[in-house]
Structure 1
């Protein structure tokens, strides 16, 4: 078996395990988070969102990126692992202590005194995540996504299902969410380490430490920039509005953001690991893979987000109840923004694999400045203004990233448009169909919630048929080889459709 075939098989198995684990985790998260939200309400969720905002930033500092160097090294020694783990302990302790000591100051910045206890209680998450980084990155290096998914699903079950839900019913406040996150992080750390069992003896220095630090600092700065672009809006909302507002804002955002990041968590590491092993001179192959990824996102995934945007109010009413009705209007812009988030999320590893990690950092600085200005201006009005401003900025950032990748891989604008066209058509048709069915249902006296499932089913079926009918006619020839492994994993009923069968057999 050739090295390329072995890598392809390894990547396919990784995607398979990643998809299975992500589906399980997504179902668990979806059901558990909805139950927790119904029990606790917007205000308690808003307090927790403030703590998450701070700790997620601190976690990027604690996991300062040195462990990412383990993925790219040709050979990893025990000394490399000891050195990385030692630095993760040191930095994780410093950051966790800083968050705990500064919790009162952080709460005053939010204008919410109750947030101090939440931030202080969540500080250990920074250390726990830092300690798990060496094990997780070694598993990614091995493309052992089976172990990664088992640890993530298992830790979520223990933390949120077995601990969080009972505590929410008993305590009825934010403490249930805090304990759930701490337990989940602890179990995930133990589980990942058990799969790797790297040496734990401290070691401050190795010959390769400068190179790993260079990779780590680049990744850390990029991740911090990504955090700012993803969270500056919530920081503005937390500072400018009530705890209930940030609760509704976070609930609407997370409803579409959680499945999106779950999907990225499966595809992005596999895409990065496989792309990093491609011949850097083979730009044509890299370009074909990248265009195939864009096509799948826009043709298969984006229409579902468009349907969610059209059906935002009945979705919130059905899932969360009347106490969360303010989240309905916020869900529409967030759902529309998620395809752009997927696109930039898949563009990042392509730049890294092509040796242009710094290019992403430089290109995003102007976007960050624009993000800050738009959020600050929008916060002078209703919170809905912030949501729509952020949705527009998602598309600006995605366009920036796509432009960078197209320049690096020499993808002509004509080929890019040919890749994007079928997905854009599918989104328009699905959106118009969902809106028309809602209007017809209201005229017939059927409530929006009652129409929700039939409309979603029709939209999904229409998307799959449109994909099958247009795929072989619209996909550029150099994209088809990269797309076939994805199509080969579709259900047999779809693969029997003439258009897909012809594309698979060409």
Structure 2
């Protein structure tokens, strides 16, 4: 099977996974948030903030090394598998021991047992990630999508069942554990590897040389999830933390294909590393894909958010609807430049990635915390919008390794998506919907690329044969 066929088939399954994820996650969030309320939902969500902060760089970047390397020996893979096992055990133990400190830092003693519980999930996720990276390396995105889709079903059915049984904020925590264990079992069956202690320096050194720089940059990026437990909660309280976490979660759930593109990008773009002209064309088209699959969906939800969020989640969540447009706009802008990070990884310009995330962190924390002190919960959106300025770092360093990227296609889509997002802040839903229709009509009239992408997506929906 050629690369194009693998990418299309894998992309289709990953897109189906995202659609399934969105539906299940939205239903799960709706029920849990409504039943728990902002305070209890905030307790569960800041526990998960801590978990994902560690998980997103727990493999020390060796997963990306496995995916990007053109040739890698069986002994090297065995040694890296052993490293994943050791990292899982060590990080799970440290995370559990740090639970009281994290509870103190976020002024929420209730999260201590919750953090200790999710530390077990951290071990399972690391073990599963090795098998998943083996599949990513072979562009077996279809299998990965199927596994993750099934695990989402396990997570949400478990969480919903437990919340109805009165498990309160324990429900999503136990759901995460069930999902992590399921992911390990399913991924390991598809891509098994020896679980042993085979740590050889000659194989670990090049992987860690690359990986530590990636994970260092990723750690800076992950600091954004700590803004809520370490910034919002001490300043505004646990209720505000729940509202902001819900707003961010809704933004992520509605951004169907961002994770698909990010997940596939390194494995796909690495195949074009030696052909920079083609790589620039693929990147330009990929940016437009990101913008078109994310911007209009977020803008449409923003149009009716002041109706939908109170109706679905309850009146106590209304503030989330007013925060949503600004958070969504920042999300759209940042997502367009995801492929720049992939390109810098591809050419091992990892210091530039770290500099970008450092700029993002400093802009987000300084302006958000100052804004919250001055304007309460509304100050949070100041930090979100100012953080987008960090993309200028990506632009500067990406152009040093790759020229010829066309930004006009993605820029037009972002602009026409931003118009109804901004309008939703000042106008009622019906007139804002009129603005949305006009903006999207103008987009497809003036943007040939947008029309082409829609046609490609519709064609790819047809059955693919080997």
**What TM-score comes out, normalization by structure 1 length?**
0.83
1:487 Cα shift?
4.6
Change (3 A) 1:463 1:19: farther
2:206 corresponds to? 211
Could you say if the C-alpha distance between residues 384 and 72 of structure 1 is closer, same or farther in structure 2, counting changes exceeding 3 Å? same
Conservation of the 8 A alpha-carbon contact between 2:409 and 2:447: no
1:422 aligns with 2:418: no
- Give yes or no for the alignment of 1:27 onto 2:23: yes
CA spacing shift, 1:396–1:310, aligned 2, 3 Å: farther
Mapping for residues 319-468 of structure 1, pairs under 5 Å: 319-411=312-404, 415-416=406-407, 418-427=408-417, 430-431=420-421, 438=428, 455=433, 459=436, 465-468=441-444
1:82-231 paired onto structure 2 within 5 Å:
82-161=78-157, 163-205=158-200, 207-231=202-226
1:471 is the counterpart of 2:447 = yes
Q: 1:238-387 residue pairs with structure 2 within 5 A? A: 238-260=233-255, 263-280=257-274, 282-299=275-292, 301-387=294-380
**Greater Rg, structure 1 or structure 2?**
1
Does the alignment pair 1:17 with 2:13? Answer: yes
- The equivalent position to 2:58 in structure 1, one of 59, 62, 68, is 62
Residues 3-45 of structure 1: CA deviation (Å, up to 9, x unaligned): xxx2222222221121122111221111122112112211111
CA contact (8 A) 2:33 2:313 kept: yes
1:165 deviation in Å?
0.9
Is the contact between residue 299 and residue 467 of structure 1 (CA under 8 Å) also seen in structure 2?
Answer: no
Consecutive unaligned residues of structure 1, counting only runs of 5 or more, are 442-451, 493-506
TM-aligned CA distance change 1:428 to 1:33, over 3 Å: closer
Q: Is residue 40 of structure 2 the alignment partner of residue 50 of structure 1?
A: no
Cα shift readout 1:478-501 (whole Å, capped 9, x = no counterpart): xx9xx96x4543337xxxxxxxxx
| C-alpha separation in 1, matches of 2:117 and 2:419 | 48
* Deviations 1:400-438, CA, capped at 9 Å, x for gaps: 3234323432248xx53x334522452255458868983
> RMSD over aligned Cα, in angstroms?
2.9
**1:245 touches 1:383 (CA, 8 Å); kept in 2?**
no
Query: 2: distance between equivalents of 1:277 and 1:220?
Result: 23
SS at match of 1:380: helix
Are the aligned partners of 2:330 and 2:384 in contact in 1 as well (CA < 8 Å)?
A: yes
Question: C-alpha displacement at 1:205, in angstroms?
Answer: 0.7
User: Per-residue CA shift, 1:358-392, capped at 9, x if unaligned?
Assistant: 32113433343333322332231344234212321
* CA shift for structure 1 position 318: 2.4
TM-superposed CA distance for 1:170, in Å, is 1.0
In structure 2, distance between residues paired with 1:363 and 1:431: 26
Other structure's SS at 1:208 match: helix
- CA displacement, residues 63-118 of structure 1 (integer Å, 9 cap, x when unaligned): 22223221122334332232112111212211111121221122111112112122
State whether residues 63 and 130 of structure 1, in contact with CA within 8 Å, keep that contact through their aligned partners in structure 2: yes
Query: Contact conserved, 1:233 with 1:386, CA < 8 A, in 2?
Result: no
